[in-house]
Structure 1
Amino acid sequence: MTTFDEREKSFEKKFELDQELQFKVKARRNKLLGLWAAGLLGKTGADAEAYAKEVVLADFEKPGDSDVVHKIMKDLAAVGKPMEDHTILKQAERLLVDAKKQIMADTH
C-alpha cells in the first residue's frame, strides 16, 4: 500500500468517525429536547423517557429538524400550550451544547 493509499484510508476513517459523532450528538440533542418538551407536557419518569424516544424517532421522518419541531409543536398545542417553532429551535440550539459535552464524555 502506498503512502497516498494510507492517507486516503485515514481520511475516510476520520470522515466516518466524524459522521458517527454528528449522528450521536444530534440524537442526544433530540432526546434532551424531548425530555424538555415532556416536562412542558407534564410527563415524568418512564412517560418522559418514552416521549423523548418518540422525538428522537420523529427525526428520521425527513431531513432537517422540521419533523422534530412540528411534532413538539403539535403535541404542545394538543394540551393547550402552543409554542412557536423558533422557541423550540432556540431550545434545541442550547441543548446541542449539552449533547456535545455528554457524547464527548461518553467517548473518553
Structure 2
Amino acid sequence: MTTFDKREEGFEKKFAIDEEQKFKAQARRNRLLGLWVAEKLGMSGGAADGYAKEVIAAEFEKAGDADVVRKVMGDLTAKGVAMTEAQVLAKMDELFALAVVQVKAGV
C-alpha cells in the first residue's frame, strides 16, 4: 500500500466518523428541540419525552430540517403559542451547537 493509498484510506475513515457524529448531533438537536417545544406546550415528564421522540421521527420522514420545523410550528400554532419560524430556526442552530459539543464529549 502506497502512502497515497494510506492517506486516502485515512480521509475516508475521517469522513465516515464525521458523518456519524453529524447524524448523532442532528438527532440530539432534535431531541433537545422537542423538549424545548414540549415545555412551551406545557408538557413535562413522559409526555415531553414522547413529544421529543416525535420530533426526532419527523426528520426521518424526509431528509432535512423542513419536516421538523413544519411539525413544531404546526404544534405551536395549534396550541396558540406565538413563535415565528425564524425563532425556531435560531433555537435549532443554538441547540445544534450544544448537541455537537455533547456528542463529541460522549454525553
Taking structure 2 as the reference length, what is the TM-score of the superposition?
Answer: 0.92
CA contact (8 A) 1:41 1:76 kept: yes
Taking structure 1 as the reference length, what is the TM-score of the superposition?
Answer: 0.92
Question: What root-mean-square deviation, in Å, do the aligned CA atoms of Structure 1 and Structure 2 show?
Answer: 1.3
Cα distance in 2, alignment partners of residues 22 and 11 from structure 1: 16
User: What pairs up with 1:1-108 in 2 under 5 angstroms?
Assistant: 1-106=1-106
Question: Which amino acid is the alignment partner of residue 23 of structure 2?
Answer: F
Render the CA deviation track for 1:34-64: whole Å, top value 9, x for unaligned.
0000001111111111111110110122232
Identity of aligned residues (%): 52
Flag structure 2 segments of 5+ consecutive residues without an equivalent. Answer: none
Render the CA deviation track for 1:4-42: whole Å, top value 9, x for unaligned.
221111110000001001111111111100000000111
How many residues align? The count is 107
Secondary structure of 1:52's counterpart equals helix
Flag structure 1 segments of 5+ consecutive residues without an equivalent. Answer: none
CA contact (8 A) 1:73 1:82 kept: no
